[in-house]
Amino acid sequence: MDDHRIGIGWDIHRLVTGRRLVLGGVEVPAPAGFDTHSDGDVLSHAVVDALAGAMADGDLGVHFPEDDPDAEEARSLDFVVAYAARTRERGFEVGSLDSFVVLGTVRLRPHVDAMRTNLAGALGVPIDRVSVKARSADGLGPEGRGEAASASVSLLLRPVVGRPEGG
């Protein structure tokens, strides 16, 4: 099987004081966090959207709906673990993942390696297949002003190495 698939994911959430800021499963010290029902981790959400998109299988909300009581205060990195398992069951794994996190008011670079480590672990792939980059947006838009944070992800899925043909 020589079937490769490409997925794109994006997410944005408003920031409010008194909430935790979680990105790629890493709690980042910040004066504000996500105004969401789960931990709001936009990077993990964008990863699930990219995986689901590559599989032509809906998006984050289809698999982890906001009105599901189990999603309340959920750890979004667990969504990545669950959907990565679904992807593997269908015979695919991440060959490469590239991402941007945009937030202008918090220095993210010191946390990038921990985000990469968490995502690689959740996806079950080596860390050299996962890239996380941080941008400030130079004070422009809601991310640049610190009103929101966003993440975008592109990834390549490839057949699981060692999987029998058709199995």
Give per-residue pLDDT as tens, 5-61: 999 999 999 999 999 999 999 999 999 999 887 899 999 999 999 999 999 987 766
Q: Are 61 and 36 in contact (CB under 8 A)?
A: no
Residue 12, marked binder: yes
Task: Confirm or deny that 152 is annotated as ligand binding.
Answer: no
126 marked as binding residue: no
Domain ranges of the chain: 5-94+108-146
Q: How far apart are CA 3 and CA 166, in angstroms?
A: 11
Q: Is 4 annotated as a binding residue?
A: no
pTM to 2 decimal places: 0.92
Q: Check the annotation: does 37 bind a ligand.
A: yes
Do the annotations mark residue 67 as ligand-binding? yes
Q: Is 64 annotated as a binding residue?
A: yes
Tell me whether residue 145 is annotated as binding.
yes
Q: Give the tens place of pLDDT for each residue, 102-160.
A: 999 899 999 999 999 999 999 999 999 999 999 999 999 999 999 999 999 999 999 99
Which residues neighbour 99 within 8 Å (Cβ) at sequence distance 6 or greater? 43, 46, 47, 130, 131, 132, 133, 151, 152, 153, 154
Length in residues, the chain? 167
Asked if residues 28 and 108 have their Cβ atoms less than 8 Å apart, the reply is: yes
Q: Which architecture, in CATH terms, is 5-94+108-146?
A: 2-Layer Sandwich (3.30)
Q: Is 111 annotated as a binding residue?
A: no
- Mention every residue, 6+ apart, whose C-beta is less than 8 A from residue 12: 42, 142, 143, 148, 149, 150, 151
